[in-house]
Chain A
Amino acid sequence: MSAIVQAEELSRWYGMVMGLNNVTIEIGPGLTGLVGPNGAGKSTLIQIVTGQLQPSSGRLTVFGETPWNNPRLVQRIGYCPEREAVPKELRPLDWLRGLAYLSGMAGAVAGGRCEAILDKVALPREHWGKRMGQYSKGMKQRVKLAQGLLHEPDLLVLDEPMNGLDPMGRQEVGHILKELAANGVSILISSHILAELESLCKDILILNWGRILASGSQKEIRSDLKDWSEELSIQCDSPDTLARHLFDAGVLLGFDLDGEEGWLHIRVKDAPAFYERWTGLLLESKVTVHAIRSQSRSLKNIFDKVTT
Chain B
Amino acid sequence: MSALWVVPNIRLNMATAPVIETQALTKVFGAQRALDGVNLTVAPGAIGLLGPNGAGKSTFMKCLLQLQPITSGSAKLLGREVGREGREIRKRVGYTPEQDCHIPGMAGCEYVTYCAQLCGLPFQAARQRAHEMLDFVGMGQERYRKADTYSTGMRQRLKLAQAIVHDPEIVFLDEPTNGLDPKGQAQILELVQSLWKVYGITVVVSSHLLQDVEKICEQIIIIARGRVLVHDTLENLKARKRGAAEVVMSARHLDLQAACARRSWPCEVLTNGHLKIEHKAESLNPLLTVLHELKLVPLEIIPSPNALEETFVQALEISHAAA
Contacts and interface: CB of A to CB of B under 8 A. Distances in A.
Direct contact of A and B (CB under 8 A): yes
A194 interface: yes
Nearest to A42: B181
Nearest to B213: A167
B288 A192 contact: no
B302 interface: yes
Contact of A290 (B53, B298, B303): B303
Which of A167, A199, A219, A288 is packed against the most chain B CB atoms within 10 Å?
Answer: A167
A280 interface: yes
B274 to A, nearest CB: 9
A139 B52 CA distance: 12
Contacts of A137: 53
Q: Sort chain B's interface into a size bin.
A: 35 or more
B318 interface: no
A166 B297 contact: no
B185 A169 contact: no
B107 interface: no
A37 interface: yes
A288 B283 contact: yes
Contact of B271 (A201, A223, A307): A201
Given A138-B53, A192-B185, A291-B284, A297 B248 contact: yes
Interface stretch (B68-76, B126-134, B162-170, B203-211): B203-211
A198 interface: yes
Contact of A294 (B208, B282, B284, B299): B299
Nearest to B52: A166
Contacts of B302: 291-293
B316 interface: yes
B176 interface: no
Contact of A292 (B208, B271, B298): B298
Nearest to B177: A192
Contacts, number: 117
B181 A36 contact: yes
A290 B238 CA distance: 12
Contacts of A38: 151-153, 181, 184
A218 B296 CA distance: 21
Contacts of A307: 183
B182 interface: yes
A218 B283 contact: no
Which of B248, B271, B289 is packed against the most chain A CB atoms within 10 Å?
Answer: B271
A37 B300 contact: no
A279 B297 contact: yes
A242 to B, nearest CB: 12
A304 interface: yes
Nearest to B309: A167
Given A166-B208, A279-B298, A297-B248, A291 B303 contact: yes
B125 interface: no
A167 B312 contact: yes
Contacts of A304: 182-183
Contacts of A229: 299
B250 interface: yes
Contacts of A300: 182, 186
B39 to A, nearest CB: 23
Given A192-B181, A218-B273, A168 B52 contact: yes
A215 B165 CA distance: 43
Interface in B279-314: 282-285, 288-289, 291-292, 296-303, 309, 312-313
A193 B210 CA distance: 11
Interface string A250-287: 00000000000000000000000001101110110000
Contacts of A223: 250
Which of A38, A178, A300, A303 is packed against the most chain B CB atoms within 10 Å?
Answer: A38
A245 interface: no
A202 B271 contact: yes
B54 interface: yes
Interface in B252-275: 270-273
Given A136-B54, A294-B299, A178 B271 contact: yes
Nearest to B297: A275
Contacts of B210: 167
Contacts of B309: 167, 171
B33 to A, nearest CB: 16
Contact of A167 (B151, B180, B288, B313): B313
A227 interface: yes
A290 B181 contact: no
Interface string A162-177: 0011111111000000
Contacts of B46: none
A278 B54 contact: no
Interface string A217-241: 0110001000101000001000000
Nearest to A261: B235
A73 interface: no
Contacts of A297: 248, 299-300
Interface in B100-120: none
Given A276-B297, A289-B285, A292-B301, 8 more contacts: A37-B181, A166-B52, A168-B312, A168-B316, A198-B272, A199-B272, A223-B250, A279-B297
Interchain residue pairs A-B with the least CB separation, the first 9? A279-B292, A37-B181, A166-B52, A288-B283, A138-B53, A292-B301, A289-B284, A195-B211, A291-B303
26 contacts: A36-B181, A38-B152, A38-B181, A38-B184, A138-B53, A139-B53, A164-B53, A166-B53, A167-B309, A168-B316, A169-B52, A194-B182, A195-B211, A218-B273, A276-B297, A279-B297, A280-B292, A283-B289, A283-B292, A288-B282, A288-B285, A290-B284, A292-B284, A292-B302, A293-B300, A307-B183
